[in-house]
A and B are shown apart, each in its own frame.
Chain A
Amino acid sequence: MGIITVEKADHLYWLGRYSERVYTTLKLYCDGYDSMIDLDDSYYIKICELLDIPNIYNSKEDFITRYGYDRSDPNSILSNLLRAYDNAIVMRDEIGTETLAYIQMAVYGLEAAAASHAPMMRIQKVVDNLLAFWGCVDDQIDGRCVRGVMKFGKRVERLDLYLRFRRSPAELHRGYMRLVPRAKESGMPYNAEVLEKLKGIIDAPVVDYDAALVQLGQILNV
């Protein structure tokens, strides 16, 4: 497919962002789940702070259920996955039924995990499907701009999360270096100045994480 509309580019970008958000936060969630078994009951409070989401949870059990699978919690992993799905379902004609199926299966997988006695065992399926989704994107989607826009979204999201998690400068640098070519390839109008400023902040001796997040939030403001 050659031509996509502005609206479609938007869906692809957010499909990239949300599927990456789910993928990365799932790992965080699983680590937290493990910690809270017998090590650190308040670990979830830290997760909320890192993600900058309101701590509306009453206990670690409440967090594990609601943050994981509650549709009515807009910050839950399931809500984010459903947003990825919402953006994917309208893009069947561009990304293809085969590719779309992996997002669909990730949704089924997370719903199954929610209903399971041992959700962590099931979450592996969700992660597998998300990885297969990106594999399928590379393998099956011919349109460069379609792929480019999705990957641009993915890289923006990853850097965003790394900044929130206060990852090491080396990791940030790597995240940044992977973002730059994607921005260019996407063909989307992005703010090149923002990219320059981000570079300055990330390469500084002391990283100002919040300033970097503010900059990253401006990347599409041209």
Chain B
Amino acid sequence: MYDLCRDADAINEQLARYGVKFGIYKNGVFKEQLFPFDAIPRVIDADEFAYLERGLKQRVTALNCFLADIYTDKKIVKDGVIPPEFIYSSTGYLAQCEGVRTPKGIASHISGIDLVQSKDGTWYVLEDNLRVPSGASYPLIARELCRRASPATFREMKIEDNRNYAGLLKQVMDYVNTGGDNVIMTPGRYNAAFFEHSYLAEKTGAALVTGSNLFVEKDMLYYLDYNGKKQRVGALYRRLSDEYLDPMNFLPESVIGVPHLFDVFRKGNVAILNAPGNGVADDKGIYYFVPKMVKYYLGEDCITHNAPTYLPYYEEDRKYVLDRFDEIVIKDVAEAGGYGVVFGNKLTRKEKEDMIALIKHEPRRFIAQDVIDFIDIDIMENGERTPRKADLRAFVLTDGDVSVWKSGLTRFSRNPDSFIVNSSQGGGFKDTWVLSR
């Protein structure tokens, strides 16, 4: 570990060499920024990981059951477990997906579950990301470099090798493939996560394409090779949001999508990873109900913990929220990426009054959570160890089995006062080590 910190600069230099970047727009201009890497890893011991693994498998299994149910039989709503309002008024609910049965019944193939650990050691799930969770490529390439920088560390520590991620991803694509090539679809190089799209394509052997390379003919999806020959696509790992996928079925003004793509999917002729419509399950409002889903579909108690969450939609919860306004954090369910998050005690009196009025007016739009005092993790800054807020995104892959990648993306906030750890708001990342014993 000492070696790693000593060589942190060299590792960051190597990351720059390999173009490990994410793109951001500043004042309308696209810029590529290096994603700062901190060499001190997050270490999760074997027992702790075994617990997380059980919990995450259970959680993602239930979420997949929910997605399959919600677009077909809707038993969970009919049985009164989730109020219909939380489904049908959600922007993530896509009526277009009604009645669709996804290949092999899987909707969330790659799930990114964001966790934090509180000071008493309890892990809390903060968010489920079932649409296009990104970030696995960063610890993947960082590990490669860390092993070069400090072979001794990896000889002595018995750390689970995380470099099988591309292999796992390929297995998932192969499993759901309906006949044809595996393809990764990117919005283009000016997307924030383009590095990841191209890196995963390289490592999985999937073809990297943009919407303009793809086309539909008679309910089949194809791309053209440079000799003008049609190649069928059997699994499409798309890295753009649902609404841009297909101008014939979603936003008509989308120019990066593929006309009729959704019709191909509806007819079962291509697997889309993750399936369109998943937003209904990772909405901040639906999050509250995930433990209930686990109970409902699997008949088990939910192993993972949700952060204590209140829905102003329910009168009892609304009262709690208003009574303890200064102790809670309020989240707008429609926002993502660390936006729309408000800490009650940080508001001026006027802002507070406005917020309360808004909550009373649109209770369904917000959730409130107790502020979790989570464990800080050290980072190296100017040669000294300094504590910072950090979360963990665990990646759960679903094919025939559900598996949790033995690593994850640990992001930290560089600003000492910030609770928000998000790469789009200028954070850094760490490797995540899972010990094998």
Instruction: Give chain A's interface residues, CB within 8 Å of chain B.
Output: 1, 3-9, 86, 89-90, 92-93, 96-97, 100-101, 104-105, 108, 145, 149, 187-188
Instruction: Tell me whether B212 and A7 are in contact (CB under 8 A).
Output: yes
Which residue in chain A gives the minimum CB-CB distance to B201? A93
Candidates A86, A97, A149; contact of B199 at CB < 8 Å: A97
Residue of A1, A3, A101, A108 with most partner-chain B CB within 10 A = A3
Instruction: Tell me whether A96 and B223 are in contact (CB under 8 A).
Output: no
Which residue in chain A gives the minimum CB-CB distance to B200? A93
Instruction: Tell me whether A92 and B226 are in contact (CB under 8 A).
Output: no
- Bound: A105/B15 CA distance, A: 11
Instruction: Tell me whether B224 and A101 are in contact (CB under 8 A).
Output: no
Candidates A89, A93, A96, A188; contact of B226 at CB < 8 Å: A188
Number of interface residues of B (CB under 8 A): 29
Instruction: Tell me whether A6 and B17 are in contact (CB under 8 A).
Output: no
Instruction: Tell me whether B228 and A96 are in contact (CB under 8 A).
Output: no
3 A-B pairs with least C-beta separation: A92-B198, A93-B201, A9-B226
Q: Taking A5-B226, A187-B226 as contacts, is the C-beta distance between A89 and B213 under 8 angstroms?
A: no
- Bound: A9/B19 CA distance, A: 22
Stretch from B58-66, B115-123, B202-210, B392-400 forming part of the interface with A: B202-210
Question: Using a CB-CB cutoff of 8 Å, which residues 182-239 of chain B contact chain A?
Answer: 184, 188-189, 194, 198-199, 201-202, 205-210, 212-213, 223-228, 231
Instruction: Tell me whether B18 and A104 are in contact (CB under 8 A).
Output: yes
30 inter-chain pairs at a CB distance below 8 angstroms, sorted by A residue, are A1-B207, A3-B181, A3-B225, A5-B209, A5-B223, A5-B224, A6-B226, A6-B228, A7-B212, A9-B226, A89-B194, A89-B198, A90-B188, A90-B198, A92-B198, A92-B202, A92-B208, A93-B198, A93-B201, A93-B202, A93-B206, A97-B19, A97-B199, A100-B19, A104-B16, A104-B19, A105-B17, A108-B16, A187-B227, A188-B226
Chain A contacts of B207 at CB under 8 A? 1, 3-5, 93
- Bound: A93/B184 CA distance, A: 10
Chain A contacts of B224 at CB under 8 A? 5-6
- Bound: A108/B213 CA distance, A: 31
The minimal Cβ–Cβ distance linking A144 to chain B, given in whole angstroms, is 13
Which residue in chain A gives the minimum CB-CB distance to B205? A1
Instruction: Tell me whether B181 and A89 are in contact (CB under 8 A).
Output: no
Which residue in chain B gives the minimum CB-CB distance to A96? B202
The minimal Cβ–Cβ distance linking B209 to chain A, given in whole angstroms, is 7
The minimal Cβ–Cβ distance linking B133 to chain A, given in whole angstroms, is 20
Chain B contacts of A8 at CB under 8 A? 226
Question: Using a CB-CB cutoff of 8 Å, which residues 262-278 of chain B contact chain A?
Answer: none
Chain B contacts of A3 at CB under 8 A? 181, 207, 225, 231
Which residue in chain B gives the minimum CB-CB distance to A90? B189
- Bound: A145/B229 CA distance, A: 15
Which residue in chain B gives the minimum CB-CB distance to A12? B226
- Bound: A5/B205 CA distance, A: 15
The minimal Cβ–Cβ distance linking A100 to chain B, given in whole angstroms, is 7
Q: Assuming A3-B181, A97-B18, A187-B226, what are 11 further A-B pairs, CB within 8 angstroms?
A: A5-B223, A6-B224, A9-B226, A89-B198, A90-B198, A93-B206, A93-B207, A101-B17, A101-B18, A105-B17, A108-B16
- Bound: A92/B199 CA distance, A: 7
Q: Taking A89-B19, A101-B18 as contacts, is the C-beta distance between A4 and B199 under 8 angstroms?
A: no
Question: Using a CB-CB cutoff of 8 Å, which residues 34-65 of chain B contact chain A?
Answer: none
- Bound: A100/B17 CA distance, A: 9
The minimal Cβ–Cβ distance linking A140 to chain B, given in whole angstroms, is 11
- Bound: A143/B210 CA distance, A: 21
- Bound: A42/B113 CA distance, A: 64
The minimal Cβ–Cβ distance linking A16 to chain B, given in whole angstroms, is 14
Q: Taking A1-B205, A93-B201 as contacts, is the C-beta distance between A145 and B19 under 8 angstroms?
A: no
The minimal Cβ–Cβ distance linking B233 to chain A, given in whole angstroms, is 11
Which residue in chain A gives the minimum CB-CB distance to B206? A93
- Bound: A101/B198 CA distance, A: 13
Instruction: Tell me whether A5 and B198 are in contact (CB under 8 A).
Output: no
Chain B contacts of A4 at CB under 8 A? 207, 225-226
Which residue in chain B gives the minimum CB-CB distance to A7? B213
Q: Taking A3-B207, A7-B212, A105-B17 as contacts, is the C-beta distance between A97 and B226 under 8 angstroms?
A: no
Question: Using a CB-CB cutoff of 8 Å, which residues 1-34 of chain B contact chain A?
Answer: 16-19
